């Protein structure tokens, strides 16, 4: 599958490979030729979008934003092969591609309502002609959907199905508006000292979940995959949160009364870690029985809730991060 970063890194060679492989358009991939000088051309010879081009671009942006997201490749002709299958068939680089890049970058913000701020645009030159080239547009699935095309004479909502874009029906638009406001959760780790004995201390590494979205998060889930070279423990679960053991960590999820409202942060999970401090400098000497300079803790996480797409990430603690854990952490 062609992906935005891989196409940009591979340049024209990646497009040649797609043609050799007979790559087909699909739910998340669309090819368009500039068709300069032809009826319905997307660009003119100066690299500016035509009226038809603005409509075609707006339609693709709306459809990808309202569906699963996708990549739009400008500069590749897609037509039926000998078997009657639509696939990438020939390179057709855009004349004045840098002007076209500027034109598209300026137009994207005006062609959707509301805007999809996650759209990325890049381009590169053709091997044979540095003035001609290709544009690659990455359109993520939007949590603010539905997005309407704002092109002239085309005030419509589109969706992607198979390798084509279609006008959304009323029921699709109504359903999308109902889901427009969704929770958006972020994971924020915090250190808290909860017991001491001399210059030894037990710390909780707490996992707080922050709702930065516009809707309440019901049944929030937090999956943690822990990789470490020192000893740690799982204490009793947080009140209102259920816990299930996984091969490399835990899955924690709230009960029916555990919700996270917009702007609210709630403790969801925690680990127990043993520190030994130097009595004079109060600096960390040991963590989980291992010298701090050798300690590492890496956890991948996934967080999601009802009506929210899963968000994944990774947080890493090493010697430098552990040195910032203070004796009086609260």
- CATH assignment at residue 261: 2.60.40.10
Per-chain mean pLDDT for the chain: 90
Mean pLDDT to the nearest integer, 59-77: 95
pLDDT tens per residue, range 299-311: 899 999 987 778 8
Pick from 115, 143, 178: which residue ends a domain?
A: 178
Angle at 305 (CA atoms; ends 115, 217), nearest 5 degrees: 80
Number of domains in the chain: 2
pLDDT of the residue at 11 = 96
In this structure, the answer to whether residues 35 and 165 fall within a common structural domain is yes
Distances (CA, A) of 140 to 68, 298, 300: 7, 28, 22
pLDDT of the residue at 68 = 87
In this structure, the answer to whether residues 145 and 292 fall within a common structural domain is no
CATH number, domain with residue 101: 3.30.950.30
DSSP for 227-288, written as a single string: EESS--B--SPPTTEEEEEETTEEEEEE-TT-EE-TT-EEEEEEEEEEEEE-TTT--EEEET
- In a domain, residue 69? The reply is yes
DSSP state of 151: B
pLDDT of the residue at 178 = 66
Q: Are 115 and 109 a contacting pair, CB within 8 Å?
A: yes
Please tell me whether residue 289 adopts helix, strand or coil conformation: coil
pLDDT of the residue at 329 = 59
Percent of the chain at pLDDT exceeding 90: 61
In this structure, the answer to whether residues 20 and 77 fall within a common structural domain is yes
In this structure, the answer to whether residues 12 and 127 fall within a common structural domain is yes
Q: How confident is the model at residue 126 (pLDDT cuts 50, 70, 90)?
A: very high
Pick from 161, 178, 195: which residue ends a domain?
A: 178
State the DSSP H helix or E strand holding residue 101, giving kind and residue range, or none if neither. helix 97-111
Residue 290 has pLDDT above 80, yes or no: yes
In this structure, the answer to whether residues 109 and 235 fall within a common structural domain is no
Distance CA(57)–CA(93), nearest Å, equals 17
User: Domain range spanning residue 130?
Assistant: 4-178
pLDDT of the residue at 140 = 93
In this structure, the answer to whether residues 22 and 92 fall within a common structural domain is yes
Please tell me whether residue 217 adopts helix, strand or coil conformation: strand
Q: How confident is the model at residue 220 (pLDDT cuts 50, 70, 90)?
A: very high
Distances (CA, A) of 159 to 55, 142, 164, 168: 15, 12, 9, 6
Mean pLDDT to the nearest integer, 100-115: 95
Q: How confident is the model at residue 187 (pLDDT cuts 50, 70, 90)?
A: very high
DSSP state of 292: G
Distances (CA, A) of 32 to 36, 40, 72, 73, 137: 12, 12, 8, 6, 11
Give the burial class of 195: count Cβ atoms within 10 A of its Cβ; 0-12 exposed, 13-18 middle, 19 or more buried: exposed
pLDDT of the residue at 181 = 66
């Amino acid at each position: 599958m062609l992906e935005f970063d891989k196409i940009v890194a591979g340049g024209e060679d990646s497009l040649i490979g797609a043609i050799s492989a007979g790559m087909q358009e699909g739910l998340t991939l669309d090819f368009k030729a500039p068709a300069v000088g032809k009826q319905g051309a997307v660009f003119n010879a100066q690299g500016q979008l035509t009226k038809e081009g603005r409509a075609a671009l707006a339609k693709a942006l709306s459809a990808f934003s309202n569906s699963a997201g996708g990549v739009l490749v400008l500069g590749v002709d897609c037509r039926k092969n000998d078997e009657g299958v639509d696939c990438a068939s020939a390179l057709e680089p855009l004349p004045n591609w840098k002007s076209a890049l500027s034109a598209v970058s300026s137009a994207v913000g005006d062609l959707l309502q509301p805007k999809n701020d996650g759209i990325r645009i890049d381009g590169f030159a053709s091997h044979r002609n540095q003035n001609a080239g290709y544009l690659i547009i990455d359109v993520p699935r939007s949590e603010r959907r539905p997005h309407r095309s704002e092109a002239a004479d085309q005030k419509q909502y589109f969706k992607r199905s198979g390798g084509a874009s279609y006008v959304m029906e009323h029921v699709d638009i109504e359903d999308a508006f109902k889901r427009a406001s969704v929770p958006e959760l972020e994971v924020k780790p915090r250190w808290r000292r909860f017991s001491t004995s001399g210059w030894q201390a037990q710390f909780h590494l707490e996992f707080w979940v922050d709702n930065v979205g516009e809707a309440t998060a019901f049944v929030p889930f937090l999956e943690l995959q822990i990789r470490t070279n020192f000893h740690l423990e799982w204490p009793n679960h947080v009140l209102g949160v259920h816990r299930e053991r996984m091969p490399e960590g835990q899955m924690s999820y709230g009960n029916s009364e555990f919700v996270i409202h917009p702007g609210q942060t709630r403790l969801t999970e925690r680990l127990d870690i043993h520190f030994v401090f130097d009595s004079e400098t109060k600096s960390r000497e040991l963590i989980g029985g291992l010298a701090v300079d050798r300690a590492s803790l890496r956890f991948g996480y996934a967080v999601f809730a009802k009506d929210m797409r899963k968000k994944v990430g990774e947080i890493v603690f090493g010697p430098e991060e552990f040195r910032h854990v203070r004796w009086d952490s609260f």
